[in-house]
Amino acid sequence: MSNLQDKAVAELVVLRSLQNRVGDWHRQRFPAAEMEYVALKTCEEVGELASAVLGLVGTNSAIGKGDVAGEAADVVICIMVLLDRWYPVSLFGAVEAKLAILNDLNSGHRSAFDATLSNSTTNDAGIRLKENNGHL
């Protein structure tokens, strides 16, 4: 294996360990939790992330205030819990597999045919925004 491959494998091991620690924490803190609740909690956290992003980009500062990185971490934690407790799957291994599909122009996945963000603009914070039917 090359150094790059060794590093990638080591990173996946660390990330899997993190997922296991998050799952262990959740099992200890919420032993009776149900999968459906964690899935709904994930949706709630995604909404909080969206609200924080909206506050950052200034599209509606009345609803969006918050820490984007912190809210993103909450989403990832919920997903890690869901996978670690009820599915024997590494989140980051699944991301690696999905990324391979997305990068394969012959995969048939719609993102393989999507142009890059050629119709995009950047806000004051340097965040790239994609235009959608004339709306950002």
The three-point CA angle 21-12-76 to 5° equals 55
Q: Where are the domains of the chain?
A: 3-130
Q: How far is CA 73 from CA 2, 26, 60, 78, in A?
A: 31, 15, 22, 9
Contact 53, 34 (CB under 8 A): no
pLDDT of residue 130: 52
Contact 106, 95 (CB under 8 A): no
Contact assessment for residue 66 and residue 55, using Cβ atoms and an 8 Å cutoff: yes
Across 5-14, 18-27, 107-116, the highest mean pLDDT is recorded for 18-27
Q: For residue 64, give both structure tokens.
A: 């969006």
Q: Write the pLDDT tens digit of every residue in 66-87.
A: 789 999 999 999 999 999 999 9
pLDDT of residue 117 exceeding 50, the answer is: no
- Per DSSP, the chain holds a count of helices (H) and strands (E) of 4, 2
Per-residue model confidence as pLDDT tens digits over 12-47: 889 999 999 999 999 999 999 999 999 999 999 999
pLDDT for 90 beyond 70: yes
Q: In whole angstroms, what is the distance from residue 35 CA to residue 38 CA?
A: 5
Q: Is the pLDDT of residue 115 over 60?
A: no
Measured distance CA(121)–CA(136) in Å, rounded: 8
Is the pLDDT reported for residue 116 higher than 90? no
pLDDT at residue 134, rounded to an integer: 39
**Higher confidence at residue 86 or residue 116?**
86
Q: Which two tokens stand for residue 122?
A: 């950047």
Q: Cα separations (Å) of 85 from 15, 23, 29, 56, 78?
A: 16, 6, 13, 33, 11
Whole-number average pLDDT of the chain:
82
